[in-house]
Structures are given as C-alpha cells and as structure tokens.
C-alpha cells in the first residue's frame, strides 16, 4: 500500500521550540543535483513516501521524492497512523514539543495552533483508545498531558469517555472529568483551581458567568460530593463538581425538599462549619419567608458538621432550643418528655396569664413542659432557670423554672414551697386588685375575693398564708384561713366580719336580766381543728356557750 503523508504549515522559528539539529552530510544514494535533496535507488529512480537515515538521523521523502523539511509527517505505513515532525534540516525531531498550524476545519476552536509532543522514537504521543485513562495521560517534564488519536494536545474540559475538544460546549465543565488548562499550556490540573465557567442554573437575577472553586485528585479527576481534603470536609456538586458555599446539602445546593439533617453550612473557604454557631439568613429554598424578610437566626453545627435540629441541646455549658428546621428559638418553647419535638410558642407577650394557666394560646399548646429561653435572640437565646419575671400580654408575672431541667412545672414545688402551673407562680400580680389570691389547681385558676373560699390562699410572692383569724386585704376585705391555708370565709368589709363574730349573751337571775354584747375571738387552735366553715361556726358557738355558761347565746348572724 502506498504510504500517505499529510503536510502542515509550521509557525515561524521565533515562535517555536527548535531542536537545533545541524545540516548533515548525506551518504551514498543521496542527491541534491537539482538543488533539493532526494534519495535515488540503484536504478536511478527516486524514493518516495519513505524514511531514510543518514549519520544517525532520519529523513522523510515526500511523494514527489523531495526531502521534507519543517513538516508534520502522517505515516500510515503501519496499522496505526503515526505522526512525526522533521525540522528545517529535514531531520526527525525527538523528545520535544512542536506547535503546528491548524486545518481550516479546526478554525472554530479557541487555540491558535496545535501542540504535539514527539517522544524518544520521534513518534507523536497519541491516544490509542476513545477514553482518557491513566495510561493515556503522559508525564512530560513533571507535568501530565493527554492527546487525541491525531496527536493533538488536548486542553480545557475533557470527558473521560470522550477524547475530544469541547470548545463549542460552554457547559462542558458540568459533565467533564478532567481540566487540562488553556490551549497554550494543556497540563492536567490537580489540587485546587478557581475556574470561570458559564452556569445556566444560577438563581434568578444572578450572572451566568461564575468563578467556582474545583478540587482535582492526584489522578486529575474532579471531586464530587462530600469529600475530605487536607483534613477538612468540603461539599462539591454531585453532577458538575463545583465547590458549594454557604448553605448546602452533601453534594448539591439547597432545594425546597432539603431537610435539616441534610443541611450544612460552609465557611468562606468552603470547609464545613463544625462545633460552631452560624448567624445567618436561611437559604431561599429552605425558608423562603425568613429569606424574603432578611431574618437572621442562630444555627449550630455539631462535631460532624450536621445541623442540630428539633431538640434542646447543651452547648458550652448552656442549653438551647432548636426547631425542626434547626433554627435557634427564643421565648416560650415546648417539647416532649425527651426534650424532642421542639415547638416555638412565641414570646411571653404573646400569652396572657389565662393562656399560661390553660397551657394554650394562638401560638400553640404546651406539650410535656414549658421552657423559657432568653428573648435576646442575637446575643443570648439560652435556657433560663429559676425565678424569671416575664411580661405577658396582660400583666407582669413571676415564673419559676426547674434549676436542673429548665421545665416550667405544674403542682406544688417543694423547693420553693409554692404552687406553679407551667412554671407560672400562682400568686396575684401587681396588676391585680388584690394582694391575696386563692389557688385552684384543678382548673387551674387564680381566685380573688369571695371566690377564694375553699382554696389555698397565697400572698403576692406565692407563699401560702395559714392560720389567720382575721386577715385584711388591700380592698379592706377579710379572710379566715385555717391551719392548712384554706380560706374558710371571705368578708367584703370589716362590718361583714364583725357581724359574723358578734353575739349577745343573756341571762335572767332573780328577776333581773343581764345582756352582754361581745365579739368572738377565733383562736389558732380552732383553725387547726376545723377545716370547713360550718364546723368553725359550730365550734365558735360551742366555745361561746362554754365561756358564758348559764347565758343564752344569740349570734348576730345565725350559726
């Protein structure tokens, strides 16, 4: 079969790397009688489309018999096409780069010319398969390159499964595995690289021209997904491999279906935030309302880089509440018995006292327990324990939260010796008209005045009041309170009280009637022994008769 050659015009010597081979003295068979070197056979005919050697160098005779110079040789004499280059003296070059002008069919590429590398045997490096693999990536002077089947050095974004230039595909970076830098460089990128690309999937209003960070492994392959690089975890898009920043999933940007346990926050350098707080506006796709309102919140990422969510968690010695989205909560919060299923119940001023007692408001209902977290969202937000004075919607009230668990408990608190409902200390507030109140734990409710009868009486601090025969309140009313602290009777005025304790004692002796008017003094012993109003009245009557034996006792108010 006749050998075929393909001729290419080379660039000027000043623009190229030259091998500097000196002119050779031709051996027998060589002839330049016409002013051009040729090689003659014994019969005088010219050798064509063949290699001939002289003084250790190889020279190529074109189809017209003239020795080729400054020319790319496409040699089809073997099963695989081979490419060579001869210099200005016609000698085959070895171990060197050469730049060769492109055919017109390649004019739409970014490159101005093709780079070739010719090895120790003079052959250009070529790709012998349709894929880019480690065996098809060549190391030259410490850097790695790849070539197509025609020996062209490839550049830019290259697919592992498609050995071809992709200059015309502005989205080639999305599906390519390797990056071989610019056309006049071409070395395989490894490590970190910042590359400008065209991204048609940016958010509305953003420029499609984006400069992204990429990370390439030692073999040059682009990293994708959540990967550990130099001791830190980074997130790379699962399809195109660009490094994600700010809010992200493991290997993609945040979507409307992203859940808290899939969410990460990435530092300015792209590494995961771990064991750190983040003060940030949520991603638009994660919480559009807060995003649109430019609403900042605190978020916490644990030692594995995962967002803490739907729990009350101790961080650096303090406890904080996080909702299902991972946002730190403030104000009133409720949770189940395991401090999970955390719900935001709004600020204290979203609640009235009646709401707290009922355990429900427009913001939601108390689950296992009510907690209070600092209203200073930006600077604090931690769980508050012990006594807390809170501004409700209708008044200022005192609360008490367990000093260990932080729970606002319901019942009689033996530690502070007071009754509480959801942490609210059962007591009259400064906004009430009374300085004493009855505690109804069954409803629950706080009772005043005559409604206190039959209930435990407490003062403004919530402390029980016990064993009081005549206790005056701020409205000039009077209470009788037994030794257990239960109100036996409330009188709206001192006159009502006096009418209750006043009696007359009458005795007729020797035709003479003696009438005494007295006020009965209720004793502590009577309050210890009698725990309902009827028995107290009976005891009073019995005692008066005993004290004034022989007299007829008549109460101003019938006993």
pLDDT along the chain (559 residues), means of 10: 36 34 52 94 93 95 96 89 96 97 81 96 93 92 96 96 91 96 96 96 90 97 95 94 92 90 92 95 95 96 95 96 97 94 97 98 96 95 98 98 97 97 97 96 97 98 98 97 98 97 95 95 95 96 95 91
d(CA 473, CA 468): 12
Residue reference for tokens 């970076």: 173
- Which of 74, 162, 147 is CA-nearest to residue 117? 147
* Homologous superfamily of domain range 223-308: Cholin Binding (2.10.270.10)
Are 179 and 156 in contact by the 8 Å Cβ rule? The answer is yes
d(CA 211, CA 201): 14
Are 357 and 422 in contact by the 8 Å Cβ rule? The answer is yes
Give CA 78 to chain center in angstroms: 61
Is 223-308 in the same CATH topology as 30-189? Answer: yes
Q: Which residues contact 98 (CB under 8 A, 6 or more apart)?
A: 10, 16, 17, 72, 85, 115, 116, 117, 118
Are 399 and 390 in contact by the 8 Å Cβ rule? The answer is yes
Please give the pLDDT value at position 333: 98
- Which of 438, 303, 317, 451 is CA-nearest to residue 382? 317
Q: How many CB atoms lie within 10 A of CB 15?
A: 10
Q: 304: burial class by Cβ within 10 Å (0-12, 13-18, 19+)?
A: exposed
Alpha carbon distance, N-terminus to C-terminus of the chain: 139
The secondary structure of 244-275 as a DSSP string is: P-EEE-SSS---TT--GGG-EEE-TTSBBP-S
Domain residue extents for the chain: 30-189, 223-308, 432-558
Residue 274 — left, alpha, or beta (φ > 0 → left; ψ -120 to 50 → alpha)? beta
d(CA 53, CA 28): 11
d(CA 438, CA 452): 4
d(CA 366, CA 293): 28
Look at the domain 30-189 and name its fold: left handed beta-beta-3-solenoid (2.10.270)
Please give the pLDDT value at position 130: 84
Please give the pLDDT value at position 28: 58
What would the two tokens of residue 179 be?
């990056």
């Amino acid at each position: 079969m006749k050998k075929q050659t393909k001729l290419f015009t080379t660039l000027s010597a000043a623009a190229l790397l030259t091998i500097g081979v000196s002119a050779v003295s031709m051996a027998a068979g060589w002839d330049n009688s016409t002013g051009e070197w040729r090689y003659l056979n014994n019969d005088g005919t010219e050798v064509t489309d063949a290699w001939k050697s002289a003084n250790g160098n190889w020279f190529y005779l074109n189809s017209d018999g003239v020795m080729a110079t400054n020319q790319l040789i496409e040699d089809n004499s073997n099963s695989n096409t081979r490419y060579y280059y001869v210099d200005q003296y016609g000698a085959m070059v070895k171990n060197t780069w050469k730049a060769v002008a492109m055919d017109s069919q390649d004019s739409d590429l970014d490159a101005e010319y093709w780079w070739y590398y010719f090895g120790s045997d003079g052959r250009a490096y070529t790709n012998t398969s349709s894929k880019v693999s480690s065996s098809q990536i060549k190391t030259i002077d410490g850097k790695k390159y790849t070539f197509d089947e025609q020996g062209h050095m490839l550049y830019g974004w290259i697919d592992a499964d498609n050995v071809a230039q992709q200059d015309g595909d502005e989205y080639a970076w999305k599906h390519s595995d390797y990056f071989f830098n610019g056309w006049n460089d071409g070395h395989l990128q490894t490590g970190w690289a910042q590359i400008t690309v065209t991204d048609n999937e940016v958010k509305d209003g953003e420029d499609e021209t984006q400069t992204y960070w990429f990370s390439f492994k030692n073999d040059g392959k682009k990293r994708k997904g959540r990967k550990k690089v130099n001791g830190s975890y980074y997130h790379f898009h699962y399809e195109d491999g660009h490094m994600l920043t700010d809010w992200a999933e493991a290997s993609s940007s945040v979507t409307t279906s992203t859940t808290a346990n899939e969410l990460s926050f990435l530092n300015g350098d792209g590494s995961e935030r771990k064991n750190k707080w983040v003060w940030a506006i949520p991603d638009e796709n994660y919480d559009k309302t807060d995003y649109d309102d430019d609403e900042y919140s605190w978020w916490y990422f644990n030692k594995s880089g995962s967002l803490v969510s739907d729990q009350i968690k101790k961080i650096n010695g303090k406890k904080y509440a996080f909702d299902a989205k991972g946002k730190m909560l403030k104000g009133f919060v409720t949770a189940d018995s395991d401090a999970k299923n955390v719900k935001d119940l709004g600020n204290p001023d979203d609640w009235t006292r009646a709401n707290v007692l009922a355990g429900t408001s427009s913001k939601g209902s108390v689950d296992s327990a009510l907690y209070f977290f600092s209203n200073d969202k930006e600077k604090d937000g931690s769980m508050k324990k012990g006594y807390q004075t809170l501004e409700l919607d209708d008044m200022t009230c005192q609360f008490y939260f367990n000093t260990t668990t932080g729970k606002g408990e319901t019942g009689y608190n033996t530690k502070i010796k007071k009754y509480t409902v959801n942490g609210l200390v059962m007591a009259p507030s400064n906004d009430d008209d009374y300085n004493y109140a009855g505690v109804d734990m069954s409803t629950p409710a706080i009772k005043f005045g005559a409604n206190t009868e039959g209930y435990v009486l407490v003062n403004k601090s919530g402390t029980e009041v016990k064993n009081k025969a005549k206790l005056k309140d701020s409205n000039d009313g009077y209470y009788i309170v037994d030794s257990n602290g239960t109100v036996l009777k409330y009188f709206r005025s001192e006159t009502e009280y006096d009418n209750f304790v006043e009696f007359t004692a009458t005795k007729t002796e020797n035709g003479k009637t003696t009438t005494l008017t007295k006020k009965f003094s209720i004793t502590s012993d009577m309050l210890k022994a009698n725990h309902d109003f009827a028995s107290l009245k009976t005891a009073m009557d019995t005692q008066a008769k005993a004290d004034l034996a022989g007299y007829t006792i008549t109460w101003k108010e019938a006993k």
